[in-house]
Homo-oligomer: A and B are copies of this chain.
Amino acid sequence: MLTQAKSKRNWKPIIKEFEAVIGKKGVVRRKEELLTYECDGLPSYRQRPALVVLPRTTEQVAAAVKLCDRYNIPWVARGAGTGLSGGALPVEDCVLIVTALMKRILDVDLDNQRIVVQPGVINNWVTQAVSGAGFYYAPDPSSQIICSIGGNVAENSGGVHCLKYGVTTNHVLGLKLVVPDGSIVDVGGTIPEMPGYDLTGLFVGSEGTLGIATEITLKILKTPESICVVLADFTSIEAAGAAVADIIGAGIIPAGMEMMDNLSINAVEDVVATGCYPRDAGAILLVELDGLEVEVSTNKKRVTQLCQQNGARTITTASDPETRLKLWKGRKAAFAAAGHLSPDYFVQDGVIPRTQLAQVLKDVEALSEKYGYRIANVFHAGDGNLHPLILYDESIPGAFEQVEELGGEILRLCVNAGGSISGEHGIGADKNCFMPDMFSEADLETMKWINQVFNPKGLANPGKVFPTPRTCGEAANAQKSVQFKDVERF
């Protein structure tokens, strides 16, 4: 819901100053133009920013952040705005710093397998820039054709191929940062072995609360010689889950291993009609194998055998790019297809230890029945990253609140199973209330120490990651006891 109070600040002279450092074209102030920026990929929260600025250089970002610091204006960084946890949700009377125009690839060094990009570069462009030379960039969120590297860094994004290759943090070598006082800092470097504290790792996944990355040095990998996709269908989720456990247990590390349940299968067949996913299957498993041809071919046999041992009814494999794409098509369209099952859907993102898969999915089913909402399950099965899609109709009063509550119960299932409240979508404005479920007061306070030194005035992305009394009803009491004593910036 959008609430918009009248600003108490005299913006006119401040806007002039922003225009002076960024240029008139880089400053958006008209109400109708600001509409676009009221939310990111989590549209259930909305807030209009006072001003949007679109810098093109590190220096312009630094100048904008300095102005915010001078006038004590809260600010929020935004990449492509595809985030699913409200990490780029504006706060009242804030400046939104949008990196969408910072889309230059600054350097490509194939010999040392690295590339330097501005934060507005789209994820997919990185691979496109180096694929001709036989390289690619591994992290591949579902939104990879529209999401930006800056946002990926902020949210430590994952993707289908992160089972084998790790999430964004494993692929960032160094960063040029603008920290909240407007100074420019370099962290990490161009090689993985950098001495001193690992500030690169600290910054990746900090969701815009510690600063803005304006140059990002990424690792690129050699394109594998061979890729094969194995599609297996099972009569039950339990059987598919057992196959997952056996594949990992055998020491095979697929590039990706995805599962979809019956409801998801039917949703995607309704919408994209792949014809590959049997509508009566309890679950399908998509296993992508990559590496040397001999390795892939051996693993294909092993995976096929392990799936069969766990009751797979049919197994389809594909090695040529066209058929592989066909097998993946339904999975890639799963979120969009959920929109066809129901007027609205709510994507949850939680992690459980792989060994708890069957039990947690049973518990999710029980919650689905208890609340009376259908839940389609799509997930990165290899690393236990669940994406339950709760189907509902927002026009029914109270439905969203119920779905939020149901989503929360699913997260608590994950935490109780020894997992996490977020696998790859981040905490943002959406899940900060759940942080006390995962972390003790002392643990959260330690994270806040870090926030305080980088962000002593609290201007950088306020209200995100950490629970706040304003946003979290039930977490408010826990929050009170971990409030900061006064701190001076040194």
CB-CB under 8 A from A450, the residues of chain B are 197, 199, 202, 450, 453
Tell which of B185, B225, B427, B439 touches A251, judged by Cβ atoms closer than 8 Å.
B225
Residue A326 lies at the interface, judged by CB distance under 8 Å to chain B: no
Q: Are A449 and B453 in contact (CB under 8 A)?
A: yes
CB-CB under 8 A from A190, the residues of chain B are 353, 418
Residue of B nearest to A422 (CB): B195
Main secondary structure on A side of the interface with B:
loop
Residue of B nearest to A85 (CB): B195
Residue A183 lies at the interface, judged by CB distance under 8 Å to chain B: yes
Residue A201 lies at the interface, judged by CB distance under 8 Å to chain B: yes
Binary contact track A455-490/B, C-beta < 8 Å → 1, others 0: 000000000010000000000000000001111101
Residue A351 lies at the interface, judged by CB distance under 8 Å to chain B: yes
What size tier do the contact residues of chain A reach? 35 or more
Residue A36 lies at the interface, judged by CB distance under 8 Å to chain B: no
Residue A179 lies at the interface, judged by CB distance under 8 Å to chain B: yes
Binary contact track A232-254/B, C-beta < 8 Å → 1, others 0: 00000000000001000101000
Binary contact track A190-209/B, C-beta < 8 Å → 1, others 0: 11111111110110111000
CB-CB under 8 A from A447, the residues of chain B are 196-197, 199
The oligomer's copy count stands at: 2
Q: Are A440 and B186 in contact (CB under 8 A)?
A: yes
CB-CB under 8 A from A223, the residues of chain B are 251
CB-CB under 8 A from A449, the residues of chain B are 453-454, 490
Residue A384 lies at the interface, judged by CB distance under 8 Å to chain B: yes
Q: Are B193 and A424 in contact (CB under 8 A)?
A: yes
Q: Are B490 and A490 in contact (CB under 8 A)?
A: no
CB-CB under 8 A from A201, the residues of chain B are 169, 198, 201-202
Other A-B pairs beyond A187-B443, A192-B383, 4, CB < 8 Å: A191-B353, A193-B422, A196-B444, A199-B450
Question: Which residues of A are interface residues toward B (Cβ below 8 A)?
Answer: 111-112, 134, 156, 158, 166-167, 169-170, 179, 183-187, 189-199, 201-202, 204-206, 222-225, 245, 249, 251, 291-292, 294-295, 297-299, 351, 353-355, 383-385, 418-424, 426-427, 431, 435, 438-440, 442-444, 446-447, 449-454, 465, 484-488, 490
* In the complex, the 6 A-B pairs of residues with the closest C-beta atoms, listed nearest first: A222-B251, A201-B201, A295-B295, A449-B453, A294-B294, A487-B490
